[in-house]
């Protein structure tokens, strides 16, 4: 008995009871940013340090419970809960605390700010780390079919599981500011008609449902392959997308049609960005794109398999983050498995085509109906019947800094794209770029989707 008491006393002597020996934390707050309500979040973590020589016994770790609209859950030493007692931290050592959030539905459209305190009590001293999130309600759709004319509003995001199908004869209209979040492998298939009425101030957003950060301040939106993509299939026609930003998909946007008698798709001031294959593929369809950015893909940025394609004032760029692209930015298929495919008529006017790979898979377009007029190209070359008044070996001087995860395809002051376009090839629909800049204000026309803005 005496020996046991002596050992207990020795152990207790090794614990500090001083109120000056307090904990240190790797952060003063745990932030979840925007959290979709009624589902668990990815886990955050922080470190609790004991900088002293003696052990510390944390008598209590708990959520203060200030919020009645949601919950933050802790995991300490592999145990999940909201309250822990007598947690020991050895001298000059540390422990990890993991935090997960589950927020109840807010029953309102706008995001709601939620915060609570993670409270630590050691030797009578209380210390806190703030847990913070914005809760966002969503409209959940599980493999739904749109069989009539329907509007998706900007009131709250739509979270799509499986495939959202717009049936033949139906029209889905996306109002300005509408957001569609696609869960893993989620997609949209359109046999009817899709109309997106985004604006400069309130674009329509199509993206994955991961709203957190990969690490630090790097948004999860840099990750491709988060969701499937958007597929237009016959008899779809007369689809119009204005000011749509689509990112992080696997297959990008696909459009196919039985003929080119009716336009299948019109893209106006859109961004199709960051796909784990290509961001855009067209097969046998009539597609027009004005003022649109096609950027960053593991394979070709765009593919055209027959049909009629007109790209005006567009930027086609590839600085894909996760591998060095080897396919050209533009891939045109004039034959498939030794068989001639449907004739392709393609026009690229006042465009920038640039990146870490070649521009087009066919260096010699002689005899084809593919024409590049007033386009900036990285390659050396000479004009001919298919390449007309092009800027060869040009450099658009994008603001993109791949190493810093910045993918901004606007033009620096030294850009070779400034003033090199042909105003006669710039239709009225292309006069204002995605940022509202007037292409004709300075007298000349810049190449690509974006009008140069002087830095000073």
- Give the closest residue to 248 by CA, choosing from 225, 282, 219, 217: 225
Q: Indicate if 43 and 92 belong to the same structural domain.
A: yes
Q: Indicate if 197 and 291 belong to the same structural domain.
A: yes
Structure tokens at 254: 């696909």
pLDDT for position 333: 85
Q: Are strands 239-242 and 265-268 parallel, antiparallel or unpaired?
A: parallel
Q: Indicate if 257 and 385 belong to the same structural domain.
A: yes
CA 379-385-386 angle, to 5 degrees, is 50
Q: Indicate if 76 and 217 belong to the same structural domain.
A: no
pLDDT for position 13: 62
Domain that holds residue 175: 138-430
Asked if the structure places residue 407 within a domain, the reply is yes
What single DSSP character describes residue 37? T
Asked if the structure places residue 445 within a domain, the reply is no
Q: Indicate if 151 and 112 belong to the same structural domain.
A: no
- Give the closest residue to 442 by CA, choosing from 425, 422, 410, 419: 419
* CA torsion through residues 179, 183, 185, 191, sign: negative
Asked if the structure places residue 9 within a domain, the reply is no
- Residue whose token pair is 């999860």: 220
Q: Indicate if 106 and 61 belong to the same structural domain.
A: yes
Asked if the structure places residue 16 within a domain, the reply is no
Q: Is the peptide bond before 333 cis (omega within 30 degrees of 0)?
A: no
| Collapsed DSSP state (helix, strand, coil) of residue 253 | strand
Task: Enter the pTM of the model.
Answer: 0.90
| Collapsed DSSP state (helix, strand, coil) of residue 220 | helix
Asked if the structure places residue 148 within a domain, the reply is yes
Q: How far is CA 94 from CA 49, 88, 122, in A?
A: 4, 10, 14
Structure tokens at 183: 């869960």
Q: Are 336 and 305 in contact (CB under 8 A)?
A: yes
pLDDT for position 66: 67
CA 108/CA 95 separation, integer angstroms: 38
CA 275/CA 283 separation, integer angstroms: 18
Q: Are strands 335-336 and 344-349 parallel, antiparallel or unpaired?
A: unpaired
Q: Indicate if 298 and 417 belong to the same structural domain.
A: yes
pLDDT for position 323: 87
Q: Indicate if 34 and 166 belong to the same structural domain.
A: no
Q: Please provide residue 2's backbone torsions phi and psi, each rounded to the nearest 5 degrees.
A: -65, -40
| Collapsed DSSP state (helix, strand, coil) of residue 405 | coil
With a CB cutoff of 8 Å and minimum separation 6, the contacts of 337 are: none
Q: Work out the end-to-end distance of the chain between its first and last CA atoms, rounded to an integer number of angstroms.
A: 83
Structure tokens at 102: 């589950």
- How far is Cα of residue 234 from the mean position of the Cα atoms in its chain? 28
Q: Indicate if 36 and 146 belong to the same structural domain.
A: no
The domain boundary residue, chosen from 99, 117, 135 = 135
With a CB cutoff of 8 Å and minimum separation 6, the contacts of 403 are: none
The domain boundary residue, chosen from 94, 110, 135 = 135
- Residue whose token pair is 């009817």: 192
| Collapsed DSSP state (helix, strand, coil) of residue 189 | strand
Contacts 24+ apart (CB under 8 A), 376-381: 376/351, 376/352, 376/416, 376/417, 376/420, 376/447, 376/448, 377/353, 378/353, 378/354
Asked if the structure places residue 357 within a domain, the reply is yes
Q: Are 432 and 454 in contact (CB under 8 A)?
A: no
Strand partners, 49: 24, 94
DSSP 284-301: S-EEEEES-EEEEESS-S
- Give the closest residue to 146 by CA, choosing from 178, 175, 177, 168: 168
Q: Indicate if 129 and 146 belong to the same structural domain.
A: no
Structure tokens at 95: 């422990």
- Number of domains the chain contains: 2
Asked if the structure places residue 450 within a domain, the reply is no
CA 258-261-263 angle, to 5 degrees, is 90
Q: Indicate if 303 and 361 belong to the same structural domain.
A: yes
Structure tokens at 121: 């009590």
Q: Indicate if 87 and 170 belong to the same structural domain.
A: no
For 58, the enclosing helix (H) or strand (E) is: strand 56-63
CA 4/CA 104 separation, integer angstroms: 50
Q: Which residues in the chain show pLDDT less than 70?
A: 1-13, 66-70, 335-342, 363
Q: Are 326 and 338 in contact (CB under 8 A)?
A: no
Domain CATH code at residue 47: 2.60.40.10
Asked if the structure places residue 177 within a domain, the reply is yes
pLDDT for position 235: 96
């Amino acid at each position: 008995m005496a020996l046991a008491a002596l050992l207990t006393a020795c152990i207790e002597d090794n614990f500090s009871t001083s109120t000056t020996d307090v904990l240190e934390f790797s952060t003063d707050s745990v932030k979840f940013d925007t959290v979709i309500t009624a589902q668990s979040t990815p886990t955050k973590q922080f470190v609790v340090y004991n900088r002293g020589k003696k052990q510390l016994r944390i008598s209590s770790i708990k959520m203060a419970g200030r919020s009645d609209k949601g919950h933050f859950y802790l995991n300490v030493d592999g145990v999940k809960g909201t309250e822990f007692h007598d947690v020991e931290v050895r001298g000059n050592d540390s422990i990890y605390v993991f935090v997960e959030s589950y927020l109840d539905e807010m029953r309102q459209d706008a995001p709601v700010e939620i915060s609570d305190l993670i409270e630590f009590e050691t030797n009578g001293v209380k210390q806190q780390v703030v847990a913070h999130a914005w809760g966002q309600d969503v409209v959940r759709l599980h493999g739904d079919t749109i069989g009539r004319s329907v509007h998706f509003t900007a009131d709250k995001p739509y979270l799509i599981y499986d495939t959202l199908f717009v049936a033949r004869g139906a029209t889905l209209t996306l109002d300005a500011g509408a957001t569609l979040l696609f869960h893993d492998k989620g997609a949209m298939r359109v046999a009817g008609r899709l109309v997106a009425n985004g604006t400069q101030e309130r674009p329509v957003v199509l993206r994955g449902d991961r709203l957190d950060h990969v690490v630090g301040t790097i948004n999860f939106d840099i990750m491709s392959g988060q969701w499937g993509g958007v597929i237009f299939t016959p008899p779809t026609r007369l689809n119009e997308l204005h000011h749509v930003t689509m990112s992080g998909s696997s297959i990008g946007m696909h459009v196919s049609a039985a003929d080119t008698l009716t336009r299948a798709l019109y893209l106006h001031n859109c961004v199709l960005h960051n796909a784990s294959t290509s961001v855009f593929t067209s097969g046998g369809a009539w597609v027009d794109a004005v003022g649109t950015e096609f950027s960053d893909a593991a394979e070709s940025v765009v593919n055209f398999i027959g049909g009629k394609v007109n790209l005006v004032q567009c930027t086609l760029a590839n600085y894909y983050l996760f591998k060095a692209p080897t396919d050209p930015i533009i891939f045109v298929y004039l034959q498939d498995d030794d068989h001639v495919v449907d004739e392709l008529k393609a026009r690229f006017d006042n465009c920038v085509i640039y990146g870490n790979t070649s521009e087009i898979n066919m260096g010699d377009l002689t005899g084809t109906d593919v024409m590049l007029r007033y386009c900036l190209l990285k390659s050396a070359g000479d004009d001919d019947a298919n390449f007309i008044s092009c800027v060869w070996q040009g450099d658009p001087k994008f603001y993109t800094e791949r190493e810093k995860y910045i993918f901004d395809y606007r033009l620096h002051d030294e850009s070779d794209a400034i003033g090199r376009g042909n105003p006669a090839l710039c239709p009225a629909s292309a006069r204002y770029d995605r940022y509202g800049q007037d292409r004709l204000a300075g007298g000349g026309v810049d190449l690509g989707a974006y009008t140069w803005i002087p830095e000073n």
